[in-house]
A and B are shown apart, each in its own frame.
Chain A
Amino acid sequence: MAKIFVNGDAQEVVLPLNVSQLIAQNDVAQPEMVAVQVNEQFADHDEWDNIFLNEGDKVDFLYFMGGGAA
């Protein structure tokens, strides 16, 4: 087991684990619409399968938020 931080919250995960698998585990809605940062660097969608997480990594999911006027 390893401890990583997802959106600021600690999470115990089993390694090896790539970003795509983490997204699936976290039931992220509409993953194709989510921007992902790993340790404060943006991770391109087509790299998600190749980015493997390590103990202590910080992962943030950024979601579109479109409202404001109407």
Chain B
Amino acid sequence: MIDFSEEQIKRYSRHILLKDVGVEGQEKIMGAKVLVVGAGGLGAPVSLYLAAAGVGTIGVVDADVVDLSNLQRQVIHFTKDVGVRKVESAKEKIIAINPEVKVNTYYEFLDSSNALDIIKEYDFVIDGTDNFPVKFLINDACVMAGKPFSHGGILRFTGQTFTHLPGTACYRCMFKEPPPPGAVPTCSQAGVLGAIAGMLGTIQAAETLKYFTGVGELLTNSLLMFDAKTMDFRKIKVQPRKNCELCGEHPTIDHLIDYEQAACDLKK
């Protein structure tokens, strides 16, 4: 049992007031270790809200530096940060919001050589990446390591997300393998309304906090999709696929795969 300081009780009072969270829930949040892969459109709101919530340890993975074109939606990075490593820019804001958070930065691409090593240090993983090869890599690594994660994708005016816990449907249950490079546009190619990143990222942050506090029902075995043009939100049920190549009855994928990326994604 953590002995909350007066300052902590004040800082987290709106959580503690919630009957479903309370002191116990806040303590769980403060003991949580979350890995955020991608300090971009989704990683920005996720990291900000998790920091504000008092998540004990936040790991941030990103091999990019802040670009002027990021600022339209990546709200953790400021104009002064253009040219700065995204992980360092993110760390600065996380600590500015909440100095109690321990931040680990990984200025590197997540790939088959480092994914399992990095993920194993954390209790929950956020997919805030912008490309399919890494989305599949996160899915595969988390399923293999038995780690829960939140998947997120945004494009133009739409977003979709689900939460995976061991035994529930994985990304490969829905989509067997990444689309061929360039076949499906990403945000850097097709554009995205900036606030969509916030809408989806805050859903991912809420799922993370629900996971640690045990509140409510997670987006497991379901896929939440929304279209901001109409503000239609739709949640469909998704069952784990018995013949899933990764988590099914006779899995055939037994190692992490580095899929080829679209050339325009690599340049960024």
Contacts and interface: CB of A to CB of B under 8 A. Distances in A.
Tell me if chain B binds chain A: yes
B239 A67 contact: no
B105 to A, nearest CB: 15
In the A-B complex, the 7 residue pairs with the closest CB atoms: A69-B40, A67-B187, A65-B153, A69-B38, A69-B130, A70-B130, A68-B42
Interface in B170-201: 173-176, 179, 183-188, 190, 192, 197
B229 interface: no
Interface stretch (A10-18, A19-27, A37-45, A48-56): A37-45
B208 interface: no
Contacts of B179: 33, 64
Given A7-B234, A37-B236, A40-B238, A66 B131 contact: yes
7 contacts: A8-B234, A40-B238, A42-B239, A63-B160, A64-B179, A68-B152, A69-B62
B132 interface: yes
A23 B158 CA distance: 21
Which bracket fits the contact residues of A?
A: 20 to 34
Contacts of A30: 183-184
A62 interface: yes
Interface of A: 7-8, 30, 33, 35, 37, 40-42, 44, 60, 62-70
B153 A66 contact: yes
A20 B239 CA distance: 22
Contacts of A64: 132, 153, 175, 179, 184
Nearest to B38: A69
B81 interface: no
Contact of A68 (B130, B175, B183): B130
A67 B41 contact: yes
Nearest to A40: B237
A1 to B, nearest CB: 25
